[in-house]
Amino acid sequence: MSTADARWWRDAAIYQIYPRSFADDNGDGVGDLAGVRARLGYLRDLGVDAIWFSPWFPSPMADAGYDVADYRDIDPSFGTLDEAAALIAEAHALDIRIIIDIVPNHTSTAHAWFQRALTDASYRDRFWFRDGRGAAGELPPNDWGSIFGGPAWTRVADGQWYLHLFDAGQPDFNWDNPLVREEFEDVLRFWFDRGVDGIRIDSAAMVVKDPALPDFDPASPPDPHPWNDRDEIHDVYRGWRRVADGYPGGRALIGEVWLADPQRFALYLRPDELHAAFNFDFLGCPWDAKALRRCVDETLDAHAAVGAPATWVLSNHDVTRHVTRYGRTETGFEHHLRQTRHLAPTDLALGTRRARAAALLTMALPGSVYVYQGEELGLPEVEDLPAAARQDPIFARTGGADPGRDGCRVPLPWSGTAPPYGSGAPGWLPQPADWAQWTVQAQTDDPSSMLSLYRRALALRRAEPGLGDGPMAWLDAPADVLAFTRGDGFACVVNLSGGPVDLPAGAVLLASGPLDGGLLPADTSVWLRVS
């Protein structure tokens, strides 16, 4: 990738950093920008084209930074604006772009606008303040529930209620108010002016609500939620696209769009809206050949209709790590099933073997690929965190019924044989005592490690002219085997059949695990040079 390539987002390998958990430089147990700057060489050697930062803004951390108090600054626990500027410049010098998270659906109760709204009625229309129901307004304005559990309304001192589809510390913005739209377009300019190359948009499909705030109707098509995927939302992102297009070098807008309907999903990717969006259908897909092929076909068809690149994601900061998922009987992921699958029996050796195979599958598919920090180390989900250590509001708002997302957010292990694995102090979430095998130090010089596999695969992906953005074609293959070609002479074969299959003719470029002579073992992928 070259920083002069204005279409970089179509085939980039993008690494997600969750700032609190990536690298702690000052020894306070919390990751920081200095820790990232010190490890930019690690990311360069890994072979990524861009870094996506989960929110780095000032925040009370009611939801780990997704409750933003100030969209134009850096949280002091992470560093300063000057450090962010230095990081951006240093990353660019290594040919690595920077993507930051913007959270437009909601803010923090500590945000200046919300604090003003508590005492100044003229500010309340920037949020969803409403009178309650019941004789004394003692009931919420409607029956909406929070995605994190419990009601979606909280009452303030004067008796009104405000809407928060997530935690009570995250009041929702009212995007019918033009001041909100102007504010966020100015926030985009603020960061683009500082060299940021892209914006990842949190909860992108949720920002516009039905102004009538009707009660939930489960029979209402296509989506029963009056706060999700409304047609008016596309005007918001057309405005954002105009801002992004006003900057040189290809500033990208990437949406977090959780939608089951691929056609509705694709509407966000029309030429005057977002550049790309996360493929959650693939992320949640079980380790099953038929399901994966269906997902790939539907993804490529939907994206082709609007000329957008597909994205391929295996894990992120909100889902159970895929090494753990793939080692279970039920290998897919759905948020509402997290609590029922928590602590389900996991075969980590099997999950790791499948995760290695899945890595080669994702990196061979057309479009861009995302790597969540620690994925390249093969980290499993940490499921035995003590209740007192858990900080995800989902855990608290469900009374502990849902374990939440802390298990995929445990700080990375860099070196050493015991916690804190190369950091100066214990992390904000406790690291397991048996993670020595997964440290960067332990894996760096091991040619069979997950880290070595990712480094080789990303290097080949960048060097191979047929990979990244572009066409693919399925090959005839045995049942439960995925096989396809990319470009001129490259093939990927993934064996999900449960037993060995014949290896196609060709020179092996890379395999996710040991091959058995002329056989491709179960749960193994191979990249081939074919004629």
Q: What is the pLDDT of residues 492-501, one digit of tens each?
A: 999 999 999 9
Quick one: DSSP state of residue 321? -
Query: Is residue 79 over pLDDT 50?
Result: yes
Percent of the chain with pLDDT over 90: 90
Query: Is residue 379 over pLDDT 70?
Result: yes
Is 202 catalytic? The answer is yes
Q: Are 366 and 310 in contact (CB under 8 A)?
A: yes
pLDDT band at 60 (very low <50, low <70, confident <90, very high): very high
Query: Is residue 442 over pLDDT 70?
Result: yes
Q: Are 234 and 267 in contact (CB under 8 A)?
A: yes
Query: Is residue 222 over pLDDT 80?
Result: no
Query: Which residue in the list 63, 256, 281, 318 is annotated as catalytic?
Result: 256
Distance (Å, whole) CA 454 – CA 456: 6
How many helices (H) and strands (E) would you count in the chain? 16, 18
Query: Which residue in the list 32, 202, 376, 406 is annotated as catalytic?
Result: 202
pLDDT at 341: 85
pLDDT at 2: 43
Helices 450-463 and 348-364 pack at an angle, to 10 degrees, of 10
Query: Is residue 419 over pLDDT 60?
Result: yes
Is 193 catalytic? The answer is no
Mean pLDDT across the stretch 247-259? 93
- Quote the Cα angle for 224-229-233, to 5°: 145
Element (DSSP H or E) covering residue 17 = strand 13-17
Query: Is residue 340 over pLDDT 80?
Result: no
Query: Is residue 42 over pLDDT 80?
Result: yes
Query: Is residue 27 over pLDDT 60?
Result: yes
pLDDT band at 223 (very low <50, low <70, confident <90, very high): low
pLDDT at 216: 84
Query: Is residue 527 over pLDDT 70?
Result: yes
pLDDT band at 335 (very low <50, low <70, confident <90, very high): confident
Q: Are 197 and 160 in contact (CB under 8 A)?
A: no
pLDDT band at 249 (very low <50, low <70, confident <90, very high): confident
pLDDT at 343: 82
Q: What is the pLDDT of residues 261-303, one digit of tens each?
A: 888 999 999 999 999 999 889 999 999 999 999 999 999 999 9
pLDDT at 337: 76
Q: Are 75 and 56 in contact (CB under 8 A)?
A: yes
Q: What is the pLDDT of residues 129-186, one digit of tens each?
A: 999 999 999 999 999 999 999 999 999 999 999 999 999 999 999 999 999 999 999 9
Query: Is residue 259 over pLDDT 50?
Result: yes
3-state secondary structure 212-250: CCCCCCCCCCCCCCCCCCCCCHHHHHHHHHHHHHCCCCC
pLDDT band at 3 (very low <50, low <70, confident <90, very high): very low
